[in-house]
């Protein structure tokens, strides 16, 4: 295997971005009861958030596009990701990488979760639909940001585990369901935002219909451990639909000069 370099955080970035964020994170963590294990997870989580912030800053520098709203970062900072990964992978929970959660499914790379949450641009009063609950992590990240989250899982054991987990962790504004996500959640439609993490051969038209005017839908495309691009479907006030395909990362396929 070629060695995979660890992401380097440059000193300037450390002072510019990471340090203030760490201060913020520590300030926020001060409100958390200081139990031993919780402390350890909280520390790792703060590290993960700092990593994401630094990476987002890098991306911002490379592309000039502003990204990752502070409230999204706050949600990432308060969601106990270790609760959403299999017991034996808990030590890796706050690494910025995807992890298997069984049944051939994954919990996405934290940076991608943050990015998708940010792209959804959902506000405090919003109703959000998620197709593909998986571990429940994405729903948990969304929960503090919006009014209600409705999430559907196609694989029964995954859906049951996620439902119990979300309930146990007190995510009272997340509704879960096991079943077919293709037709959305008719009774609760329309939605301000929809996130589809299940593989689809085409954009399900019923989901587009259940999107409110002004709503946004995000679909990651690729293979389980490697998101290739993100599809952003937006519906304007007149109901006109636009589809965008975005790379998660600043990457130009052409070298500038030669």
Q: Distance between CA 207 and CA 154 in Å, rounded?
A: 16
Of the chain, the end-to-end C-alpha distance in Å amounts to 29
**Residue 13 binds other proteins (CB under 8 A):** no
Q: Distance between CA 140 and CA 220 in Å, rounded?
A: 18
Which of 120, 146 has the CB closer to other proteins? Answer: 120
Cα dihedral sign for 194, 102, 106, 96? Answer: positive
Which of 74, 178, 188, 212 lies at the binding interface for other proteins (CB under 8 A)? 178
Instruction: Let me know if 108 is a catalytic residue.
Output: yes
Whole-angstrom Cα Rg for the chain = 18
Which of 72, 128, 155, 166 lies at the binding interface for other proteins (CB under 8 A)? 155
Which of 100, 144 has the CB closer to other proteins? Answer: 100
**Residue 59 binds other proteins (CB under 8 A):** yes
In angstroms, give the least distance from the CB of 85 to other proteins: 13
| Residues 142, 175, 105, 111, Cα dihedral to 10° | 0
In angstroms, give the least distance from the CB of 228 to other proteins: 4
Size of the chain in residues: 258
**Residue 111 binds other proteins (CB under 8 A):** yes
Q: Distance between CA 183 and CA 186 in Å, rounded?
A: 7
In angstroms, give the least distance from the CB of 67 to other proteins: 10
Q: How many CB atoms lie within 10 A of CB 255?
A: 6
Q: Which of 12, 108, 135, 201 is catalytic?
A: 108
**Residue 253 binds other proteins (CB under 8 A):** yes
CA 152 to chain centre: 16
Give me the residues that bind other proteins (CB under 8 A), please.
1-2, 4-5, 7, 51, 55, 58-59, 96-98, 100, 102-105, 109, 111-112, 115, 154-156, 158, 178-180, 182, 199, 201-205, 208, 221-229, 231, 241-251, 253-255, 258
Residues serving a catalytic function are: 108
């Amino acid at each position: 295997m070629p060695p995979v370099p660890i992401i380097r955080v440059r000193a300037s970035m450390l002072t510019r971005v990471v340090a203030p964020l760490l201060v913020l994170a520590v300030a926020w963590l001060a409100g958390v009861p200081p139990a031993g294990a919780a402390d350890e997870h909280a520390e790792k989580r703060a590290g993960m958030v700092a990593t994401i912030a630094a990476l987002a800053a890098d991306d911002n520098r490379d592309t000039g596009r502003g990204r990752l709203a502070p409230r999204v970062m706050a949600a990432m900072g308060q969601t106990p990701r270790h609760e959403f990964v299999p017991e034996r992978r808990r030590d890796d929970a706050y690494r910025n990488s995807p992890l298997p959660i069984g049944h051939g499914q994954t919990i996405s790379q934290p940076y991608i979760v943050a990015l998708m949450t940010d792209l959804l641009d959902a506000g405090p009063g919003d109703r959000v639909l998620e197709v593909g609950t998986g571990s429940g992590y994405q729903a948990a990240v969304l929960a503090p940001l919006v009014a209600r989250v409705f999430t559907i899982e196609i694989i029964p054991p995954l859906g049951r585990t996620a439902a119990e987990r979300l309930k146990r962790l007190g995510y009272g504004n997340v509704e879960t369901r096991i079943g077919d996500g293709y037709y959305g959640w008719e009774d609760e439609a329309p939605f301000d935002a929809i996130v589809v993490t299940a593989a689809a051969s085409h954009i399900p038209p019923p989901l587009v219909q259940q999107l409110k005017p002004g709503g946004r839908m995000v679909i990651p495309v690729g293979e389980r451990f490697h998101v290739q691009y993100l599809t952003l479907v937006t519906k304007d006030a007149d109901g006109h639909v636009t589809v965008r395909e975005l790379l998660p990362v600043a990457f130009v396929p052409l070298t500038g000069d030669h």
